Amino acid sequence: MTRIHLIKKPLRMLRVLYLVGFFFSVHLALTAYVNSTFLGQYINPNLVGVLFAISYLIGIIGVILIPKILNKVGGYKTILFLILINILTLSSLFFLKSVYLLVPLFITYIVINIMISFSIDIFVENFSENKSTGKIRGLFLTIINFAWVFAPLLTGFVLSNNSPSKIYLISSFFVIPVLFIFLFRFKKFKDPKYNHLSIKKSLLIIKKNKDIKKIFQISFLLQFFYAWMVIYMPIYLIQYIGFGWDKIGIIFTIMLLPFILFELPLGKLADTRLGEKEILIIGFIIIAISTLIIPFLKTTNVFVWALVLFLTRTGASAIQVMSETYFFKKTKIEDMEVIGLFRGLSNFAWVLAPLLASLFLIFFNYKYLFLVLGILMIGGIYLSSVVQDTK
């Protein structure tokens, strides 16, 4: 086999995985901003955050267990099984009639998607070269974010007809291509030899490597931001500002544009000129200031809200691509449990954030959630300033 052929094969498989990332992300994005309002129709709105916390806690356990599953079963069979369960769960949520079925089905949906996301990461990392990690991760995230921009418009259209459960059925249609792509294109996927590290040893690796430790903390902050925004921003815009889903769809589409516009160029920039540190600092400055503005907005002007939320995601896009790039430059495909812990700790933010928010809302007004969130993002500026660039 020639060297050219060896080079072309990873590139070809990466292109296939980019397509996987797009379809899978459309399905995630369709439901992401609807989940909290959908759940609120069946259970006490104050318990929505608790249900999210329970779901992500079990998801962390899933991420911890999946390396062992991959070692025994292999990535190909594992991801096919997870995708099948996902399709069945989405279909069941559409036909749901009983609140007693809602809770286990929703938990299953969250857990399965966390595990699928982890598995896709392993496939992408397997076909990536370390020197191009920033470019590959930047392109992958950009393609994923095209899906996140497209989805709110479709969500707004569906929900304008007052059919929230239809979102889950439509979402399942986008998972079916993912199933067939893995089924036919990755039959011959060869799992790498994974170093089976214990969680204790993984924690020791992180403790010894200060840079990885800081990236874990940065990723945690970003996921905390996402959790509060995804769960509580739709409720805030509907119940306190007075927007309908037709307008929210437009706002969220504009809001998510930075993930398309900035992540790919920033990934390339981190590989060539600037280091990750500088971009992370700028990202946290932008996200902190723009989030602090939210509690003071009284207007019902769609484009003012779109602009402010656009700025929050401008900061988030910089933080996301830099933290991903930095982490995967510092790890190897064999470091399965370290990667798992990275995802698990990020998901822990989705456990802690809704629990703290539920407690906070007992004593304070809804809008002050975002004031606290902005203050927390200021802490990311310090964390970024002590990170050592990979260059």
Question: Mean pLDDT across the stretch 331-345?
Answer: 66
Tell me what percent of the chain is helix, strand and coil, each rounded to the nearest 5.
85, 0, 15
Instruction: Kindly tell me the burial class for residue 190, based on how many C-beta atoms sit within 10 Å of its own C-beta (0-12, 13-18, 19 or more).
Output: exposed
In the predicted structure, residue 254 carries a pLDDT above the cut 90:
yes
| Tens digits of residue pLDDT in 29-79 | 999 988 988 888 888 777 888 899 999 999 888 877 887 888 888 888 999
Q: Whole-model pTM? A: 0.81
**Higher-pLDDT residue of 179, 158:** 179
The pLDDT value given to residue 53: 92
Question: Mean pLDDT across the stretch 251-272?
Answer: 82
Q: For the chain, list the domains and their CATH numbers.
A: 3-385 (1.20.1250.20)
